[in-house]
Structure 1
Amino acid sequence: MQRTDLLEFEPGRGRWSRDADGYEFTGIGVSGPVRFVITAEALRELVNPGGEAVDGELGVSIFEQFDHDIFHIAQREVSRRGTEHQPIILTRDDMG
């Protein structure tokens, strides 16, 4: 399990969501689970900004390759946004 300041993330525990067009994953904090979706567009920004669209199979592969970075981005966004509105959607703009 990877731990950040407030949340713990377990690699390999998420899934691709066709409805959300992104990868869903969960962090566990002292107040319980925090749900996230990182969009396909955000995943594309990690490997090829402005490149071709990311489908489910490629999205899962990118997430697995960059999970450590994504978990840090997720923690930063929880610190910035809070957890009142879930899932927390991580978009291309959050990748910087």
Structure 2
Amino acid sequence: PSLVYFTADWCLSCDVIERRVFDDPGVRAELAGVRLIKADVTANDAAAQAMLRRFAAAGPPTMVFLDRRAAEAGDARQVGELSARDFLESLAAVQETRS
């Protein structure tokens, strides 16, 4: 599976996610088999806007979980700040769809 994570330098919630979610040892362990794609939309230019439209994301922070066929996995999408636990629940839902 893959995770497309929309982030930006000016996004305060993204900083919180970097520290509280991506730095969590349990999250790091579970991400070992996941392709993490960070979509930096700091510039908010045409390319960033196109990427946001492609994934129907309003802006950062948004996490779009994709299964092995590159289809969005069920209700796993996360928007806004979240806990490591919430993240792991979404990731588990994606991993279940690939079985």
Relative contact order: is structure 1 or structure 2 higher (C-alpha 8 Å, sep ≥ 6)?
2
- The structure that is strand-richer by fraction is 1
**Normalized against structure 2, the TM-score is what?**
0.32
